[in-house]
Structures are given as C-alpha cells and as structure tokens.
Amino acid sequence: MHAQHFVSACKCVVDTERYYLFFMSVPLIAFCERIGRKKISPRFDSGNPWGWYSIVCRLTTSLIVQYMIQPFQLLAFDWSITNWKGYYFAGHLACIVFYAVVSQLPTPKKKEA
C-alpha cells in the first residue's frame, strides 16, 4: 500500500514538471512587461485602446503567452522541450533580446501637470 502511494507521489512530481517550465518563464515575461511599460509606453501610448501601439501590444502579448503556455497543453516535459526546440526557443530569446535592448534606452521624463 505504501509503495503504491510512493509511486503515485513520484508520478505526480514528474507530471508537474511541465508547470514549472511555464512558471519559470513567467518572471522573464514580467520583467519585459515592466521595462516596456516604463521605457516604451510613455513614448508611444496615446491612451487610445484601439491605437496602433495598443494593438501591437495586444498581439505581441497574445503570441508570447501562446508560446509560453504550450507545456500545459502538451502534458509532458520532453514534448514541451521538443516543441520549444522546434521554435528554436524564439519566445525566450525574443524576451531576452527585448529586455537587453530596452533596458539601454533612457527613461522618459514624466510630464508635469
């Protein structure tokens, strides 16, 4: 009986690895979002929810989330890594490059009211 519970617990730990792939990628996305909001949004955001900047942000967010969420849908660690390899880890690399480039931009000064 105890062996069955041990095997079941081990299987649960292995099955949760796919969740860790996504959750370890979340900070990278969050860092990019914060730096983009701080350094890019003040330059281009007009406040119009259907402006070109808002549309580009929504599309980019949708694409990166769809890329990062795939481990949840594939249900296996090795399938998830194989899938991301097929994309050459482009989502992760795009986030790293975005962060590296945007962090070098000067922060715009706040408009005084």
Cβ-contact 77, 17 below 8 angstroms: yes
What is the pLDDT, as a whole number, of residue 15? 56
Q: What pLDDT, on the 0 to 100 scale, is given for residue 11?
A: 52
- Residue 16 is predicted with a pLDDT of 65
Task: Determine the Cα–Cα distance for residues 71 and 25; give it in Å rounded to an integer.
Answer: 11
| pLDDT tens by residue, 39-51 | 999 998 888 888 8
Instruction: Using alpha carbons only, give the angle 50, 58, 99 rounded to the nearest 5 degrees.
Output: 125
pLDDT along the chain (113 residues), means of 10: 48 62 89 94 87 92 92 86 95 96 92 66
Confidence (pLDDT) at 7: 46
